[in-house]
Amino acid sequence: MDKERIDEALELLWLLNEENHHDLNRFRLSSEDDGIDSIIIALKEGGLVDISNEIIRFTEKGRTQAKTLIRRLRLAERLFTDVFEMNDDTVIADACKMEHILSEELTDSVCTFLGHPQTCPHGKPIPRGECCKRYKVDVEPVVTRLSEFEVGSKGKITFIVPTRQSRLSKLNSLGITAGSVIRLLQRNPSYVIQIDETTVAIDSEIAKEIYVKKAF
């Protein structure tokens, strides 16, 4: 059985699980693989899924393998979007290719390089890796939290991960959105950033939720 077809089936099952769907028929209908029934057999025989009463669930082996694939995919999407500023269609196509070929070591390197992002460009969570647990940054990340940004530095906001949706709306009203070019003017007693000719003060908790790519 083609490994990429197995990988794509595992990825699909992960996505359905994120939406709390475990129905075997839902999985079958959601697949674009014409040979999905043979794929399902291969998944079961490979010890990657358990099927009972028309419910399909990951085994521990299958979940680990799917988690690795999703992590690679979403980190690749973040890399192509934040660093190379590629358009969305190209990002999706190339990220899907990279998820099958990235090694674990290279995946962790990309994650560290980006500053251990929590979500992909579409807002879906990126599974944590060992490098995230250690949170040891061996190279200066291209994308970093505003709270870790250097005073006086200029950068572009790449994404915001608010703990509350209302906070995102407030930031938007202040002009603090993905794509905005800012300069950090001070850290204490609050973070003060300049956007165009406007200065805005935000607290440290909000600064931790804003990710910035330094302008060179």
Write out pLDDT tens, residues 54-95: 999 999 999 999 999 999 999 988 888 877 667 777 777 777
The tokens describing 141, both together, are 């990340």
Question: Is pLDDT at 160 greater than 70 in this prediction?
Answer: yes
Specify whether 155 is located in the same domain as 195.
yes
Those residues with Cβ within 8 angstroms of residue 177's Cβ, 6 or more apart along the chain or in another chain: 157, 160, 171
Residue type present at position 42: A
Residue 84 lies inside a defined structural domain of this protein:
yes
**Domains contained in the chain, number:** 3
Instruction: List the strands of the sheet with 181-186, edge to edge.
Output: 143-145, 210-214, 154-160, 181-186, 191-195, 198-202
Assign residue 175 the CATH number of its domain. Answer: 2.30.30.90
Residue that terminates a domain, selected from 109, 134, 159 = 134
Specify whether 129 is located in the same domain as 151.
no
Assign residue 129 the CATH number of its domain. Answer: 1.10.10.10
Q: Is the dihedral of CA 113, 117, 119, 121 positive or negative?
A: negative
Q: What is the pLDDT of residue 1?
A: 59
Percent of residues, the chain, with pLDDT higher than 70: 92
* Phi, psi values for residue 144, rounded to 5°: -140, 160
Residue 54 lies inside a defined structural domain of this protein:
yes
Q: The domain containing residue 156 runs over which residues?
A: 143-214
Specify whether 40 is located in the same domain as 87.
no
Residue 81 lies inside a defined structural domain of this protein:
yes
Q: What is the pLDDT of residue 11?
A: 95
Specify whether 130 is located in the same domain as 149.
no
| DSSP one-letter code for 23 | B
